[in-house]
Amino acid sequence: HSEAGEPGSNGEELEMGVSEVTLVILLFLMYELFACDVCGKSFTRANNLKSHELIHTGQKMYKCEDCPMTFQQAISLKNHQRIHSSVRPHSCDLCGKTFRQLARNLHRHTLRHTGVKLFMCGMCGKGFTRADSLKIHELIHTGQKPFKCEDCSKTFRQAVGLKNHRRIHGDAPPFRCEFCGKTFCHSINLTIHRRVHTDERPFKCQECGKTFRHLKVHQRVHTGEKPYTCNICSKTFSQGSHLRTHRIHMHAGGKQYICEKCGKTYSNQSNLKLHKCRFA
């Protein structure tokens, strides 16, 4: 009877072996089921593959109803739409600055107060509070500029640099204020400008208790700091607008529009705005 039982025993082993192989194949198929035809990257869910494929096509399906911005993913649009809202529920306990997002903005901002720099450059030892800041910094040492303009072949270290540059070729519309129609080269400038219309004053001075649209400028009243220096006569100012007024009256020779970065002057605002977009 023991000999008669041996085939059954082998059969059980064979069945177990087939089951194991089948399981491995099923697991492999499950984890490699949705593969990108362009780069071969695989996904476990069809919707993840669909979102990934937009990277190759450049298609941006999600459009903001309040401005011309478009996005490849719904979550990116949702995060962007917060800039059109005055609600900033998260505030810094140390300086009072408010933020729309907790993890992405407030936590990063708090590191500036603590001075903790977790990400160190292996080449020069410079520290950063954010990993992406370190990654961008490292390109200085390598000389790598991975983002290239298809029209003029100019290269950039950061994607945002290329994006800003592309505006001179007419690829992207400027950022336009929905209240007054004024346009800007950068979204952050539009966000700051909107406060003129909404009277939003999210920043509170710890010295005097007043609230402001731009706290950094006001704080110079208490510190006496004058970071803006005239490159012609070396006179210093606490605000960039004061320096621009000084240049117009003292050095511009009748040209009223001056680039605060390089000092170049223009007779009309449109030429200055075009210059700033190219400068970005």
pLDDT tens track for 197-213: 888 887 888 888 888 87
Output the pLDDT for position 253: 64
The single residue listed with the structure tokens 């911005």 is 69
Output the pLDDT for position 29: 54
Please give the C-alpha separations between residue 109 and each of 54, 82, 95, 206, 216, in angstroms, as whole numbers. Answer: 31, 18, 10, 17, 15
Output the pLDDT for position 5: 45
List, for residues 110-124, the tens digit of each pLDDT value. 777 776 777 888 888
Report whether pLDDT(31) > 60.
no
List, for residues 122-145, the tens digit of each pLDDT value. 888 888 877 888 888 888 888 888
pTM for the whole thing?
0.32
Over residues 49-64, mean pLDDT: 76
d(CA 119, CA 254): 49
Q: Which residues does 214 contact at the CB level (< 8 Å), separation at least 6?
A: 192, 203
Tokens of 118: 């977790």
Output the pLDDT for position 101: 66
Conformation bin of residue 58: beta by default, left when phi > 0, alpha when psi is -120 to 50 = left
Query: First and final CA of the chain: distance in angstroms?
Result: 88
Strands (E), 57-190: 62-63, 70-71, 90-91, 98-99, 119-120, 127-128, 147-148, 155-156, 175-176, 183-184
- Confidence band, pLDDT 50/70/90 cuts, at residue 13: very low
SS3 231: coil
List, for residues 226-272, the tens digit of each pLDDT value. 888 888 888 888 888 888 778 777 776 655 677 777 777 776 677 77
* Percent with pLDDT over 90 in the chain: 0
Output the pLDDT for position 11: 45
The DSSP secondary structure of 18-74, one letter per residue, reads HHHHHHHHHHHHHHTSEE-TTT--EESSHHHHHHHHHHHH----EE-SSSS-EESSH
Over residues 70-97, mean pLDDT: 74
Q: How far is CA 91 from the centre of its chain?
A: 20
Question: If you average pLDDT over each of 1-5, 93-97, 167-171, which comes out highest?
Answer: 93-97
Give percent helix, percent strand, percent coil of the chain, each to the nearest 5.
Answer: 45, 15, 40
Over residues 78-85, mean pLDDT: 73
User: Are 238 and 226 a contacting pair, CB within 8 Å?
Assistant: yes
Q: Which residues share a beta bridge with 236?
A: 229
List, for residues 140-160, the tens digit of each pLDDT value. 888 888 888 888 888 888 887
* Percent with pLDDT over 70 in the chain: 78
- Confidence band, pLDDT 50/70/90 cuts, at residue 23: low
List, for residues 218-231, the tens digit of each pLDDT value. 888 888 888 888 88
Identify which has the larger pLDDT, 16 or 58.
58
Domains in the chain with CATH codes: 226-279 (3.30.160)
